[in-house]
Amino acid sequence: MGRTRTIDRDEILDAAVRIVMREGASGLSIDAVAKEAGVSKSTVLYDHKTKSALLEALVDRQVKSDMKHIEGCISASQDTPHPELFGRIAACEAQIEDADRAVATAITASVSNDENLQKLMRDWTNRDLDAMAAGPRYEAARMAYFALMGFYATELFGFQSWPQGERKQLLDDIRSIYFSFERSS
């Protein structure tokens, strides 16, 4: 008798990412993930009862990965005027990976119909905005954060990408918003 193959949750999510990269969000299904991962449908259903639950797990994993990266960048930015903001800017210095872009596109395609995904994204945004408010010059940090999120979304969704030198200059420009922003009355 053969040994039963064990599969961890990340293997299932990795299979889901491969499908999304290859076929887009519309190609993502429990059946497709099971086939891609080489497991039974019941194995996928054990942890992810629905396609929506599968997407939530992808979002959760992506957010946790991003937060770990951001936390490292914040730690490395402790000597800046606003470590939370400048750490997030530093986190955006690396080019966006195709897998991250594919997951973001799949999430965007599903988020309008899924209350749990909307809540995850709202919570992430609120956590960032709270971090901006916790540091000095809140209005300036908030404006620079909004510029950063526009920059990041533009790249994440593949609307534009910049060569590394121009990318660095744009991020420096976003940093300068923090120093130059003054609220007009």
pLDDT digits (tens, 9 = 90+) for 59-91: 788 878 888 999 999 999 999 999 999 999 999
Give the CATH number for residue 50: 1.10.357.10
Give me the domain span that covers residue 27. 9-180
Q: Is the pLDDT of residue 110 over 70?
A: no
**Count of the separate structural domains present in the chain:** 1
Half-sphere exposure of 41 (CA within 13 A, CB side): 6
Assigned domain for 81 exists: yes
Using DSSP's 3-state secondary structure scheme, residue 29 falls into coil
Assigned domain for 185 exists: no
Assigned domain for 158 exists: yes
| Bigger pLDDT: 29 vs 148 | 148
Contacts of 183 (CB under 8 A, 6+ apart): 139
Q: Which pLDDT value is given to residue 166? A: 94
Assigned domain for 4 exists: no
State the chain's mean pLDDT as an integer.
87
Assigned domain for 77 exists: yes
Rounded Cα distance, 36 and 15, in Å = 6
> pTM to 2 decimals?
0.79
Q: Which pLDDT value is given to residue 141? A: 97
Strongest mean pLDDT among 31-40, 106-115, 143-152: 143-152
Radius of gyration of the chain (CA): 19
Q: Which pLDDT value is given to residue 111? A: 66
Assigned domain for 83 exists: yes
Q: Is the pLDDT of residue 112 over 90?
A: no
Using DSSP's 3-state secondary structure scheme, residue 113 falls into coil
Assigned domain for 2 exists: no
Assigned domain for 24 exists: yes
